[in-house]
Homo-oligomer: A and B are copies of this chain.
Amino acid sequence: MSIRFILVATRHPGNIGAAARAMKTMGQAELWLVAPAAFPSAEASALASGADDLLARARVVGTLAEAVADCGLVLGTSARLRSEYYWPVLTPREAAPRLLAARASAPAALVFGTERTGLSNADFDLCHGLVHIAAHPDYESLNLAQAVQILAYELYCATGGEARRPRRGAPLAPVAELQRLRTHAGEVLAEIRFADRRAGPHLLRRLARIFGRAELDQHEVNILRGVLTAVQARRRRAGSPP
Taking beta carbons and an 8 Å cutoff, which residues of A are in contact with B?
21-22, 24-27, 49-51, 81-84, 86, 88-89, 91, 93, 132, 134-143, 146, 149-150, 153, 156-157, 161-169, 215, 217, 220
- Among residues of B, the one whose C-beta sits closest to the C-beta of A28 is B136
Contact B26 A135 (CB under 8 A): yes
- Given contacts A167-B83, A168-B83, A220-B86, are A27 and B138 in contact (CB under 8 A)? yes
- Among residues of B, the one whose C-beta sits closest to the C-beta of A146 is B149
Contact A24 B220 (CB under 8 A): no
A166: chain B residues at CB < 8 Å are 81-83, 89, 132
- Pick from B25, B86, B136: contact of A161, CB below 8 A: B136
- Pick from B25, B135, B140, B169: contact of A136, CB below 8 A: B25
Shortest distance in angstroms between A31's beta carbon and chain B's nearest beta carbon? 14
A161: chain B residues at CB < 8 Å are 134, 136
Shortest distance in angstroms between A164's beta carbon and chain B's nearest beta carbon? 5
- Pick from B82, B89, B136, B220: contact of A156, CB below 8 A: B136
Contact B25 A146 (CB under 8 A): yes
CA distance A137 to B156 in the complex (A): 11
- Given contacts A146-B25, A149-B150, are A139 and B86 in contact (CB under 8 A)? no
- Among residues of B, the one whose C-beta sits closest to the C-beta of A150 is B153
- Among residues of B, the one whose C-beta sits closest to the C-beta of A145 is B146
- Given contacts A141-B25, A161-B134, are A168 and B88 in contact (CB under 8 A)? yes
CA distance A84 to B135 in the complex (A): 36
CA distance A165 to B50 in the complex (A): 36
CA distance A142 to B18 in the complex (A): 11
